[in-house]
Amino acid sequence: MKNAGVLPQYFVEDDHGPIVPKAVYYQVQGERKRRSALMLDPSKLRFGKRLALNGRLICGHCGRVLKRYVKPDETKTDWRCRQRAMVKKSNLKEGTGMRCDLRIVREADVQNVVAMAFNELPSMRDELIVAQERLLTGEIGRIDALLSTLNGQQDQMENRLDQLAATMEEPVNTTVVSEVGGEPEVDGSSTEVEFLKAQIVSIRNQKNALYAERAEHANKEVQLRILLELVEQMTGEVQEIEGGSGACYDYEEFFRRTRYTVPEGVIQDGRMVRFDNDLVIRYLENILVEDHGYTVRFKAGVEVKVEG
Ligand SMILES: [Zn+2]
C-alpha cells in the first residue's frame, strides 16, 4: 500500500458505502471545522479555561476519577480518588461504604509528571513513526485488502442475482408442478436467490464490523500524526511530510494548514518547561495514578511511565 492518504478516501462514496463510516467522516469534518475556526481568530486559540486535568486523572486502585481539592486558604491544591472523597467516615464505621485508599497527590506534582511525560516524546520519535507506519500498512492495509475482497464477492453475487432475476421474469416452463400426488418440484433458481441474499447480508455485516475497526485505527493514526508534529516543534526539526501529491495532497495540506503551534514559553530548548492546559487537552487521554508512579497515556496510543 503506497503512502496511504486516509482522508481522501472519506470522500469516496460508491455502492458499497464510504471506506470509512459516515460517523467518522463527520467527526473528522467537525475537527476540521473546529481547527479552521481556530485559525481565523487567534483569540480563540485557547480551548477555554476548563481545567485540563479534570476527569483525566484515574485511580490506579479502583478506576474512578480523582477529584480536585483546594485548601480553604488556597495554599495547597491536591487530587484524591472520588471513592475516598465521597465516603464519609461515619459510613466507614457503620461498614456501609468502601473507601478507596489511593494516596492523595499534589497538583504541582501531577503537573510536573505531565511535563516529564511530554519531555520523553522526542526520544520516542522513531517508535511513534514505526507505530504510525504499522497502522497504515499493517492494520489499515489489512482491513482495506479484506474490504476489497468482500466488495468483489458482493459484486459477483449481485451480478448473479441480476442474472437470475432476468431469467425468472421470462415465462418459465421448468417450474411446472409435477404429476399428481408428487411433491412440487423445487425451483432451483429461487433457492439460489435466497442463498445469495443471505450471503450478501452476511458480507454487509462483515464489512460494517471492518469499517468500525478501521475507523479506530484511522483515529489512532491521526493522533500519532499530530503527536509527531508536536515532537517536531519540540526538537525544532520541522520536516516536510512526504507525499504532497496526488490523492494524498488534501490530507497533507489539511495537516499543514491546521498545524498546532505550541504557545510561547511552554517549550524551551526542546523541553516542556511549563504545564499547559491546551497540550494536555489536545494530546493526553488520561493519567493513571498509582502507588509509586504514574502512567501517562497519550491519545495516540502510547504511554509513558513516570516515577513519583
Ligand atoms: Zn480509587
Q: What is the pLDDT of residues 110-159, one digit of tens each?
A: 999 999 999 999 999 999 999 999 998 899 999 999 999 999 999 999 99
Residues 233, 270 within the same domain: no
Whether 153 and 232 share a structural domain: yes
Asked if residue 153 and residue 36 are part of one domain, the reply reads yes
Residues 137, 235 within the same domain: yes
Do 108 and 85 have their domain in common? yes
Residue range 209-251, pLDDT digits in tens: 999 999 999 999 999 999 999 998 888 865 555 444 444 445 5
Is 41 within a domain?
yes
Measured in Å, residue 62 CA sits from the centre of ligand 1 at: 4
What is the 304 CA–ligand 1 centroid distance (Å)? Answer: 21
Query: Both 137 and 237 in a single domain?
Result: yes
The candidate with the shortest Cα–Cα distance to 260, out of 234, 285, 242, is 234
CA distance 83 to 63: 9
Report how far Cα 264 is from the mean position of its chain's Cα atoms: 29
Asked if 300 and 223 count as a contact pair (C-beta separation under 8 A), the reply is yes
Measure 224 CA to ligand 1 centroid, in angstroms. Answer: 30
Question: In this structure, are 75 and 61 located in the same domain?
Answer: yes
Closest CA to 100 of 79, 114, 71: 79
Q: Picking from 104-108, 174-178, 237-241, which range would have the lowest pLDDT averaged per residue?
A: 174-178
What integer pLDDT is reported at residue 298 of this predicted model? 96
83-98 pLDDT tens trace: 876 666 666 665 556 7
Say whether both 115 and 126 belong to one domain: no
Residue 149 located in a structural domain: yes
Do both 69 and 192 map to the same domain? Answer: no
Q: What's the rounded Cα separation, in Å, for the pair 273 and 280?
A: 14
Please tell me the distance between residue 282's alpha carbon and the centre of ligand 1 in angstroms. 25
Q: How far is the CA of 271 from the centre of ligand 1 (A)?
A: 32
Ligand 1 centroid, distance to 107 Cα (angstroms): 17
Distance 103 CA to ligand 1 centre (A): 9
Helix spans in the chain (H): 6-10, 22-40, 82-85, 89-94, 107-120, 125-133, 140-169, 188-235, 249-257, 277-283
Q: Are strands 284-289 and 293-298 parallel, antiparallel or unpaired?
A: antiparallel
- Please give the residue range of the domain that contains residue 106: 57-119+265-307
Is 175 inside a domain boundary? Answer: no
Whether residue 52 is contained in a domain is answered as no
Task: Round to whole Å and give the CA distance between 163 and 155.
Answer: 12
Is residue 35 domain-shared with residue 128, that is, in the same domain?
A: yes
Residues 163 and 233 in one domain: yes
For residue 100 the three cell numbers come to 478507596
0.75 exceeded by the pTM?
no
Give a yes or no: residue 82 inside a domain.
yes
Nearby residues for ligand 1 (ion, Cβ within 5 Å): 59, 61-62, 81, 83, 100, 102
In a domain, 38, yes or no: yes
What distance in Å separates the CA atoms of residue 188 and residue 290, rounded to the nearest whole number? 66
CA of 112 to the centre of ligand 1 (A): 21
4 Rama sector, left if φ>0, alpha if ψ -120 to 50, beta otherwise: beta
Cα–ligand 1 centroid distance for 56 (angstroms): 13
For ligand 1, the distance from its centroid to the CA atom of residue 114, given in whole angstroms, is 20
In a domain, 295, yes or no: yes
| Centre of ligand 1 from the C-alpha of residue 261, in Å | 36
The answer to whether the beta carbons of residues 223 and 299 sit under 8 Å apart is yes
148 plus 109 within the same structural domain:
no
Backbone phi, psi, residue 58, to 5°: -115, 135
> Within a domain: residue 103?
yes
Measure 218 CA to ligand 1 centroid, in angstroms. 33
Provide the number of structural domains found in the chain: 2
Single-letter residue type at 175? T
Measured at the CA of 132, the angle between CA 129 and CA 134, to 5 degrees, comes to 110
